[in-house]
Amino acid sequence: MSYHHLTPEERKKLFRMWRNKESIRRMAAALRRSPGTVSRELKRNITWYRHSPLYRPVNAQKMYQARKHRPRGGKYLDARLYGY
């Protein structure tokens, strides 16, 4: 299964729908994405400000870019396991 990340334009559209309190399934249908993709996007990129959730597409794109280049970890970071 191949996974394609949301584009900045999709994030802007998602923001407008989230602000209008659309359901996850309705947002997913409008974006032609899986509800799981939309749910993960919101879970990863919602920040909290004064006890209120806040989704901003520009910040979401910046956080995506930062995560994209971060090492993922795993067994190959441990030299003993890598040699095995």
Q: Tell me the residue type at 12.
A: K
**For each of the chain's 84 residues, which pLDDT tens digit applies?**
455 788 999 999 999 999 999 999 999 999 999 999 999 999 888 888 888 888 888 888 888 888 887 666 665 666 676 666
2 within a domain of the structure (yes/no)? no
CA–CA gap between residue 58 and residue 47 (Å, rounded): 12
Based on the structure, what is the number of domains in the chain?
A: 1
- Calculate the dihedral angle through the C-alpha atoms of 77, 62, 5, 67, rounding to the nearest 10 degrees: 10
Cβ atoms of 38 and 53 within 8 Å: the answer is no
Q: Is residue 57 part of a domain?
A: yes
Determine, yes or no, domain membership for 84. Answer: no
Its domain, for residue 57, covers 8-67
14 contacts 41 by C-beta, under 8 angstroms: yes
Residue 78 included in any domain? no
72 is a domain residue: no
